[in-house]
Amino acid sequence: MGLQTMQYNFTDNITSNSAKGSAIFGVFTSNNLNGLNKALSTSEKNKISEIIKKSSFDGKLEQSLCIYDISGSKFDKLYIIGLGEKDKYGEKKFLKAVNNFTKLCKKENLKNIDIDLDSFLTNKIKINWAVRNISILLCGIDYEYSETKNKTKNKDGYEITKLTLLSKNKNSLKNLKTCFQQGEAIANGIKLAKNLGNLPSNICTPTYLAKTAFNLSKKNKKLSIKIHDEKEMKSMGMHCLLSVGNGSEEPSKLITLKYNGANKSDKPIVLVGKGITFDTGGISIKPSNAMDEMKYDMCGAASVLGTIKAISELNVKINVIGVIASAENMPSGTATNPGDVVKTMSGQTVEILNTDAEGRLVLCDALTYVNKFKPKYVIDIATLTGAVLVALGKVASGILSNDDKLTQMLKNSSNISHDYIWELPMWEEYQSELDSNFADIANIGKRYAGTITAACFLSRFTEDYSWAHLDIAGTAWNDGSNKGGTGRPVSLLTHFILNNAKSL
């Protein structure tokens, strides 16, 4: 679904929307309809009040009520959405309510929708933020994984043909189009990231990721691409990255996708994604239970592509470079053995004590490589450790950084996007866990604080610039009945970039 096919409009004048459609209103438990936009006449409001009183609807969050056939109404159907208690209402509840009506729109196949924006707002919620988030959720609702399924629920997809957002606030109506477009671009980035995460490893190989990046680069003149093959990586000295793909038939790739939205002299923000298209663990092989999930081990890479897709659609005035280190981690006669020592592009040697700690091995060479771009900030995104699931669960991604200011900026973007991150410390006391008798660095620490020791490993390669590491092993996908990619942290990263370009 997108703006190409959707006719949409922001207005304070309901009569401009003449076609009969469905209207959506938010109502608090206080059951007070006074907040309703002048979209409704007094007699309509009275009738609605009557109906609500007779129903079991009392405004609780997650409740909704559909009212048909209000005589004389401009609308075919009215959907009343519960917002919960007014004094407990805020951004989180708003997002829940919008998520609820978005699902309802899809379920009821609504095509022509009017949303009474004002009824969902309080002074705690900014209208720009609200419209961006309505757009993210509405534009994302049609995503359904279908690539390898003959049977999909929604073969033709769900399309809204006409959307009207109503607000009395004439002044703010002006900026809302931009906010809506930002939301759509973020939704498109999330969809791309979800889909790449969902694709199985026999389709989504390092070569497939390169092809996806290449196709993306053709869609916008500001994008350019460079794909390094194994031979080129070898001549650059990326032996550590290459050691991960040694056991695989699939060739490893280093993908550089540049978005040039500002002056050449503007230092770029560099995003580095872990792109392990399947992680068996290598010779340190993983147990077979739930090993299928290791097709998601390229979600860092997917989030880089999703973010660059979003910002390129918005023509943001900023320079961003995405770098993806991609390989498949397999055991075989040519695979790297535990105890093998490899040389990194930085010159430091690494003792690979565990071939399952492969993410850091591909990332370290990519992090050395990006020095040549003289970056303003480098952010790597990786499904790096199971330990981050133990620490933070599936709610927050872990952030570890060598720059408190950058951390704070990312935390701000996290607060705005509700794509949560939480900081873990990277004190020097942890560094000695990586001591090795046979190389400059060991690729694993001891038993505890696995997320921190993984970040400590990366920190040995990021001393020349301001850097943050996002461990998304917990947040990049859902399990259970919702099993699949989440598209995180595309929203966080896109908000961060928009913020840096002062266009949020």
What the block records as the tokens of 318 is 């900023």
Residue 359 engages Zn ion in binding (rule: CB under 5 A): yes
Please give the Cα distance from 175 to 171 (Å, whole number): 8
Q: Residues 182, 280, 336, 385: which binds ligand BES (CB under 6 A)?
A: 385
Which residues sit opposite 115 in a β-bridge? 24, 165
Q: Which is closer to Zn ion, CB of 302 or CB of 416?
A: 302
Q: Which of these is catalytic: 258, 360, 460, 488?
A: 360
How far apart, in whole angstroms, are the C-alpha atoms of residue 360 and residue 444?
9
Which residue lies nearest ligand BES, judged by its C-beta?
386
* Distance of alpha carbon 467 from alpha carbon 266, whole angstroms: 17
357 or 492: whose CB is closer to ligand BES? 357
For position 400 contacting ligand BES by CB under 6 A, the verdict is no
**Measured CA angle at 342 (ends 339, 346), to 5 deg:** 140
**How far is it, in rounded angstroms, from Cα 199 to Cα 202?**
8
User: Do residues 274 and 341 make contact, with C-beta atoms less than 8 angstroms apart?
Assistant: no
Q: What does residue 362 show for φ and ψ, rounded to 5 degrees? A: -80, -35
Judged by CB under 5 A, which of 297, 328, 380, 433 binds Zn ion? 297
Q: Where does this chain touch Mn ion (CB under 5 A) — which range of 111-119, 249-257, 354-362, 447-455?
A: 354-362
Q: How far apart are CA 191 and CA 197, in angstroms?
A: 10
360 as an active site residue: the answer is: yes
Given 450, 485, 487, 489, the residue binding ligand BES (CB under 6 A): 450
Mark whether 286 is an active-site residue: yes
> Please, which residues have CB within 8 angstroms of residue 18's CB and are 6 or more apart in sequence?
74
Active-site residue (options: 286, 343, 376, 411) = 286
207 binds ligand BES (CB under 6 A): no
Only segment of 225-233, 283-291, 292-300, 426-434 that touches Zn ion (CB under 5 A): 292-300
**Site for ligand BES contains 487 (CB under 6 A):** no
In the DSSP assignment, the letter for residue 36 is S
Q: Minimum distance between the CB of residue 430 and Zn ion, rounded to whole angstroms?
A: 20
Give, as ranges, the residues between 262 and 281 that touch Mn ion (CB under 5 A).
279
Helix or strand run (H / E) with residue 452? helix 450-459
At 59, the amino acid letter reads G
What ranges make up the beta strands (E) of 51-127? Answer: 64-68, 77-82, 112-116
Nearer to Mn ion, 277 or 402 (CB): 277
Q: Scan residues 259-288 and list those touching Zn ion (CB under 5 A).
A: 276, 279
Binding letters toward ligand BES, positions 278-317, x by CB under 6 A? -x-----------------x--------------------
Distance CA 314, CA 181 (A): 8
Q: Which residues participate in catalysis according to the annotation?
A: 286, 360
Positions touching ligand BES (CB under 6 A) are: 279, 297, 354, 356-359, 383-387, 444, 450, 473
Positions touching Mn ion (CB under 5 A) are: 279, 356, 358
